[in-house]
Amino acid sequence: MTTSARSWLSRPEVLERLGVKPQTLYAYVSRGRIAARPDPDDPRRSLYAAEDIHRLLDRTAQAARRTARELEPAAARGEAVVESALTSFADGKLWFRGKDAAALAEASTLEQAARWLWEGEEDPFADMKPRVDVVFPGGPRGRAFAALARRADEDAPSAGRSVRSLRREAAAVLSEVVDAVAAGGTRPALHLRLARAWKLTDKDGELLRRALVLSIDHGLNEAALAVRVTASTGASLAACALSGVAALSGPRFAGKLALATGFVAEARRGADARAAARQRLAQGLEIPGFGHPLHPDGDPRAKALLAAASLPEELNDVVRVGEGLTGQAPNFDMALALIGRQLDLPKDGAFTLYAIGRTVGFTGHALEQIAAGAPIRTRLRYVGAEPDRS
């Protein structure tokens, strides 16, 4: 059945028919049990496929109890459900406030995309003056951390401040992170600062621009939740963003990108992607960078980035071999790894691109959490030894 032929229901209708809480509906959508799409009359709201609702209602009581058991352990592990209007997944696409992320990356700079995500009528980047002391030691990744850490130490708490001042602060934080990575220099658009620092052409800078915009957000994962928890305490925007980037540095995010980057390097080192892939399989290792649980039909971010990349034949071969052996399309980790190799970015360059783009999303999550004004509450259930009362 095509999307246009489907019947769609609003959120209140779905909650009433299923008799579930909003967090349960979110779980159904995230697990692919209910299809969702932006409401064409109000892209900030979602509509849900009626056929999927009917299918759930027709299940037996035993199946319903099994579903409850599947969902309950996640809550017991401390899963927090947060309502957000920033990002959604529908029709095989990623949407930022109701706009197709791939379409946004076609022509928008990171600054323009940030302005859209932050809902700013005025340009928060206007008249922004450069900061002279932005040169930090280390590689791009370390310099990004250092810039955020300094701002976290300097900036005022976010609690009680106007949205306008917070948007301008978010823009300043983002700009200083880019300046730190680029080690100062001229101040054109953010992607061009990086391109010139990495000695790329403006044409290659366009590929950086797309990668930055596509990196902005990917729903409420652990990194975004870390940002929101920090924001709920009233901490500065830089502290919120630092929480998110710190979470990105773990194996769930940076580790997967490093594996994809390593596989691309292995394939190019021997000039034979198939041999590199088979060697990994013979060692009991998976081929990284292919498939994504949230995108069974292919990661829309990877599709958009690779469509614009014009990869050389040897890198296209990595994609063909990986797809052939895994049966899955490249994900965004692989797309970033491939353009990192194509553009000869510095070590950690791909991660730094991703972290800079995500900083826009992180500050967006922080702004949204601050505006909501509600603390994020999770319950810790003690399961350790009983107190020794002897």
**H-state helical runs in 39-187:** 50-57, 61-76, 101-107, 110-117, 140-154, 163-182
> What tokens does 67 get?
């579903």
Q: Which residue type occupies 314?
A: E
Neighbours of 164 (CB within 10 A): 12
Q: How confident is the model at residue 378 (pLDDT cuts 50, 70, 90)?
A: confident
Whole-angstrom Cα distance, residue 275 to residue 325? 12
The CA-atom distances, in angstroms, between 316 and each of 82, 126, 304, 368 are 39, 40, 15, 40
- Nearest CA among 90, 89, 121, 124 for reference residue 360: 124
Of 1-15, 79-93, 152-166, 191-205, which gets the smallest average pLDDT? 1-15
Q: How confident is the model at residue 79 (pLDDT cuts 50, 70, 90)?
A: low
Of 67-71, 127-131, 273-277, which gets the smallest average pLDDT? 67-71
- Nearest CA among 254, 268, 285, 277 for reference residue 323: 277
The DSSP output letter for 251 is I
Q: How confident is the model at residue 36 (pLDDT cuts 50, 70, 90)?
A: confident
In this prediction, residue 70 carries a pLDDT of 46
* All structural domains of the chain with their residue ranges: 8-81, 101-376
Helix/strand/coil for 115 = helix
Q: Which residue type occupies 379?
A: R
Helix/strand/coil for 200 = coil
In this prediction, residue 59 carries a pLDDT of 60
Matching residue, tokens 């005025």: 122
- Nearest CA among 376, 373, 377 for reference residue 158: 373
Whole-angstrom Cα distance, residue 389 to residue 387? 6
In this prediction, residue 346 carries a pLDDT of 93
More confident residue, 281 or 232: 232
Proportion of the chain above pLDDT 90, given as a percent: 64
Q: What is the mean pLDDT of residues 33-60?
A: 82
Matching residue, tokens 């909501």: 372
Q: What is the mean pLDDT of residues 82-91?
A: 92
Long-range residue pairs from 34-43, CB within 8 A, at least 24 positions apart, any chain: 35/6, 35/90, 36/88, 36/89, 36/90, 37/3, 37/8, 37/90, 37/91, 38/88, 38/90, 38/95, 38/98, 39/10, 43/95, 43/97, 43/98, 43/99
In this prediction, residue 5 carries a pLDDT of 58
87-90 and 93-96 as β-strands: parallel, antiparallel, unpaired? Answer: antiparallel
Neighbours of 172 (CB within 10 A): 19
For residue 235, what are the β-bridge partners? none
In this prediction, residue 74 carries a pLDDT of 46
pLDDT in tens, 299-333: 999 999 999 999 999 999 999 999 998 899 999 99
> What tokens does 332 get?
């965004």
Proportion of the chain above pLDDT 70, given as a percent: 91
Q: Cβ contacts of residue 16 below 8 Å, gap of 6+?
A: none
Neighbours of 6 (CB within 10 A): 15
In this prediction, residue 197 carries a pLDDT of 94
pLDDT in tens, 333-355: 999 999 999 999 998 999 999 99
Q: What is the mean pLDDT of residues 42-47?
A: 82
Report yes or no: 287 and 326 within 8 Å, Cβ to Cβ. Answer: yes
Degrees to nearest 5, angle at CA 357 with 356 and 360? 95
Return the sign of the alpha-carbon dihedral for residues 196, 200, 204, 210.
Answer: negative
Q: What is the mean pLDDT of residues 255-271?
A: 88
For residue 47, what are the β-bridge partners? 10, 37
Of 58-67, 89-98, 348-357, which gets the smallest average pLDDT? 58-67
> What tokens does 16 get?
């009433």
> What tokens does 164 get?
């306008």
More confident residue, 129 or 75: 129
pLDDT beyond 50 at 211: yes
Of 1-15, 87-101, 113-127, which gets the smallest average pLDDT? 1-15
- Chain-wide mean pLDDT for the chain? 88
Whole-angstrom Cα distance, residue 14 to residue 180? 47
Q: What share of the chain is helix, strand, coil (3-state, %, to 5)?
A: 55, 5, 35
CB crowding 55-83: b at 16 or more within 10 Å, else e? ebeeeeeeeeeebeeebeeeeeeeeebbe
* Topology, domain 101-376: Citrate Synthase; domain 1 (1.10.580)
Of 65-79, 194-208, 290-304, which gets the smallest average pLDDT? 65-79
Whole-angstrom Cα distance, residue 390 to residue 388? 6
In this prediction, residue 80 carries a pLDDT of 61
